Structure 1
Amino acid sequence: MSRLVEIGALIALVMFLLVRVSMTWAQDSVVSWEEDESLPIQMDEVVVTASELPVHGPPSTSSRLGLTSLETPASIHIIDHLELKNDGYKSVSEAIEQKPGITWGAPPGDPFSFSMRGFTENQITILRDGLWLGPATMTGRPQNGFNVRRIELLKGPASVLHGQGAIAGTLNVLTKKPVQEPHYSWEGLTAYGSYHTVKLGAGAGGPLGEALWYRADLSFSSSDGYVKEAGSRSLNGTGELLWKPVESLEVTLGFDYLEDTLPNYWGTPLVSDEFGTKPLKGVVETTDGRTIDERMRFVNYNVANKKANSHQYLSHMDIHWKPSQTFSLNNTVYYFSAERRWRNAETYTFNDTTNLIDRDRFFVSHDQQIIGNRLYGMLTHHMGGMPSKSLGG
């Protein structure tokens, strides 16, 4: 027993000595740190930069008076080309959908369809470089982001600005413009992704003379899609010439060509539970027991000679004349031509008697041409001692 007591006392003594040593080392460390506190510390340089929010520029979608986003009493969202590139958006629709209060639907026959503030489709005005080209359900096409300079989104009624009963809001997609700088610029894009998705783009701009500048962009995208025979492709070419012979006059000539083929896939038909040998439980629930058969999940039931494509061309000439600091005049003359073709079987119904799929056939053909002109002038003056702007057109 005494032997155990001696061993216990020895262990306690060793533990006490270890604690004292550690406390002494800690105190020495503190003293050493305090002694070295006055020594200079060399740190690497850290540079912090910040970009300015686009609230001081005048968006043309929300006002023709030259008001900035900060001065406009409305909800405005602006997506510039840097955001499109840095965030990796595959299309204009994906970028728009990231903004609050707007949803992108993209049904097969209406690929540029949105919902905003409880309104959908034609209750949202879609503009291309500030021009209304027709109802969104008819003229809306998938758009590549490479050719786009910025996207302006105005929420709320805008009939006074753009007409056409813009109840929910307005989307304005603006292509890249010439920059009045003495040097040249080039851009390029290459990307490859799932389902053999390919994206290519090339653009250039710069001076052509003392008073002439240009900008040209070409982009291409294609994908096989996740369903057989449901591939898509898009080709978009844009270009502009800017002529500024004097400080008060600017003349712009531009073109915009777009051709595309939509993915001709209209869904998978539901089958009876007795027919489905591999039903996908938990994916779709119906009251009559119909389900999706895994064997049919990636089968395209469209007709063999299916078609959903378009070709469209927009050319315009813009004249901006500002003879004085108080008066300016703007005129835009434009021509738009489009051909659109749909030839598909868009509905599929499982026949319990024959155990076959019954299909319909649907044909649509659009041949559209628009010739238009828009003219307006603005006068800056004072009214009642307050600065004012008057607009007429």
Structure 2
Amino acid sequence: MKGFAERVGSVEEYYFSAKLREVNQMIAEGKPVINLGIGSPDLAPDKVVVDALRSTAENSQAHGYQSYQGIPELRASIANFYSREYSVTLDPTKQVLPMMGSKEGIMHLSMTFLNPGDEVLIPNPGYPTYTSVTNLLGAIPVFYSLDLTKAGRPNLEELENQDLSKVKLMWINYPQMPTGAPGSRAILQELVAFAKKHEIVILHDNPYSHILTKEPISILSIPEANDVALELNSLSKAFNMPGWRVGMLVGREDWIAKVLKVKSNMDSGMFLGIQKGAIAALNLGENWFGDIQSTYQSRRKLVWKLADKLNLTYDTNAAGLFVWCKVPEGKTADQVVDELLYERNIFITPGKIFGSEGDDYVRFSLCMPEFKILEAINRIK
């Protein structure tokens, strides 16, 4: 055996992969752990979604390999969804590429654009996969800060003072994970202009746009954005389908075609039943999102109460599936996380896993029934 690839040494095992082993071991030992750390929706998909999967699976002709681009009906449903929800017009034959989840899309996009030594702008704090995939490909992460008092606006003035000649990609994410910064059309307009000036491709990771937001926004609704941006989206959060692994990439047809070259060498298409379920989800009416918003609003109010009992501070204008809290003076985030886990059997996420700007923060997930959040509140004396 002549050794492992050098890229393996550039990343660690994903935090939740390792931490959940410990949490599950505690549960196996009889400890009543309440998991407020993971952003995996606990609610079920709509019945019509499950029925579409079931009826397709019962068809003996439905189990073969599928198109690398997804069936035409799925691509059309994605395009219609973008038209209805974001006022964005897409050609379903050329500007839509179904994905097996957003995380797959992050890898495919990075493989399509990056060579070793290329630089990638990544939000700090931000989704750890942006950094790990960049490192795996031998590219260089360059972190940028966000102004949480201005809806998560990137500090573009700092970036303008840096050498951006090697930067190829910029990851953005609104509503932002983990902070919940909602972003705005004005911020996206600034980013489009920034990208055009420096010849940077913007990749907008947009899975939270229907979770506790006033208006869902796509970067592709911004004038001239199609020249510089692609967008990832997902059914995981908005439609309670995280385990189904259904995502989508939309935008410039020539860039989509290049991503397809990578994707077609890495998977053999999505099971037809999952595609049919995704179509049913994408065609759900406005009541679906209204019910989702109502549920998460109620849960968030309870998480705010829990945070108050722990003397944590948070932004009530934040959006998305999480509550991002600053720890009080005199305590570290690790202390708060460990005390809750080992003394109260409540698991929350330390902000440091999202970058150095998260060192003084913790993150609560809203993916837990209200009675469980109430139980967590009652455990805090």
TM-score (normalizing by structure 1): 0.23
More helix as a share of residues: 2
More strand as a share of residues: 1
State the structure with bigger RCO (CA 8 A, min sep 6), 1 or 2: 2
